[in-house]
């Protein structure tokens, strides 16, 4: 397993150099005890994982709680956790790199607060990449106090037949990935 920091990358291949096919991006978090509107502690923080596909810098498709799979079937959101409670991963997105439409060259992974909470209310937020055998390939942990309602956690970038994971960890003012596709352009 490789712990990534913002700006670092990892080529997605097995020990022999063969490109990986099926992966899962797992996202986890815990809300702080003071989370909620005006610090009331009453409302749990509902974070949502999303995967947004781009082709040549242009929006192509998205998988998130309101659109569970991309048209090409390569990316699938596996369920919505609305509280972040419990141990382990809170939301999973499955990616089959062998099925990604040929023109798609970038897949952004986002975490956004559906109710508009600042990510300052979130503890231990991470995204991790898991292979078919449930081995953790890479982990990116958010360590910054992000005041925005979302974060671009990482992206997958296609280079010929290979894919590379690049850690980002940048705050963004979105509650859902479809609020403003234009805001995602700088990360593509």
Give 141-178 pLDDT, tens digit per residue: 775 567 888 889 899 999 998 999 998 888 899 988 88
| DSSP helix, strand, coil percent of the chain (3-state; round to 5) | 5, 50, 45
Structural domain spans, the chain: 2-12+21-35+43-177
Task: Please give the residue that has the higher pLDDT: either 168 or 61.
Answer: 61
Separation CA 138–CA 6 (nearest Å)? 12
DSSP one-letter string for 24-63: EEEEEEEE-TT-SGGG-S-SPP-EEEEEEEEETTEEEEEE
Give 111-152 pLDDT, tens digit per residue: 888 878 787 777 777 888 898 888 898 888 775 567 888 889
Query: Residue 80 — very low, low, confident or very high, per pLDDT cuts 50/70/90?
Result: low
- Give the CA distances from residue 5 to residues 53, 89, 161, in Å, rounded to whole numbers and listed in that order: 22, 19, 25
Give 11-36 pLDDT, tens digit per residue: 998 888 889 899 998 888 776 555 54
State how beta strands 47-55 and 106-113 pair.
antiparallel
**CATH architecture type of domain 2-12+21-35+43-177:** Sandwich (2.60)
Separation CA 103–CA 56 (nearest Å)? 7
Percentage of the chain modeled with pLDDT above 90: 35
- The model's pTM is 0.86
Backbone angles phi, psi at 2, to 5 degrees: -115, 125
Strand order in the sheet with 22-31: 2-4, 136-141, 122-131, 22-31, 91-96, 75-77
Angle at 108 between CA 168 and CA 123, to 5 degrees: 55
Name every residue whose Cβ is closer than 8 Å to that of residue 181 and which is 6 or more positions away in sequence: 52, 59
Q: Which of 59-63, 89-93, 115-119 has the highest mean pLDDT?
A: 59-63
Query: Residue 81 — very low, low, confident or very high, per pLDDT cuts 50/70/90?
Result: low
* pLDDT at residue 143, rounded to an integer: 58
**Coil vs helix vs strand at 126:** strand
Task: Please give the residue that has the higher pLDDT: either 37 or 181.
Answer: 181
* pLDDT at residue 38, rounded to an integer: 44
Three-state secondary structure along 149-174? CEEEEEEEEEECCEEEEEEEEEEECC
């Amino acid at each position: 397993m490789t712990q990534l920091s913002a700006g670092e990358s990892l080529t997605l291949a097995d020990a022999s150099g063969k490109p990986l096919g099926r992966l899962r991006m797992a996202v986890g978090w815990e809300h702080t005890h003071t989370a909620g509107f005006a610090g009331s502690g009453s409302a749990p923080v509902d974070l949502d994982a999303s995967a947004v596909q781009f082709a040549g810098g242009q929006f192509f498709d998205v998988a998130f709680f309101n659109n569970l799979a991309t048209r090409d079937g390569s990316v699938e959101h596996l369920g919505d956790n609305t509280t972040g409670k419990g141990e382990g991963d809170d939301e999973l997105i499955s990616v089959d790199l062998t099925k990604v439409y040929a023109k798609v060259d970038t897949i952004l992974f986002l975490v956004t607060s559906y109710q508009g909470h600042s990510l300052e209310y979130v503890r231990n937020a991470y995204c991790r990449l898991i292979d078919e055998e449930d081995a953790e390939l890479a982990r990116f942990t958010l360590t910054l106090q992000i005041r925005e309602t979302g974060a671009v956690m990482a992206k997958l970038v296609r280079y010929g037949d290979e894919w590379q994971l690049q850690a980002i960890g940048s705050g963004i003012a979105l509650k859902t990935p479809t609020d403003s596709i234009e805001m995602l352009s700088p990360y593509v």
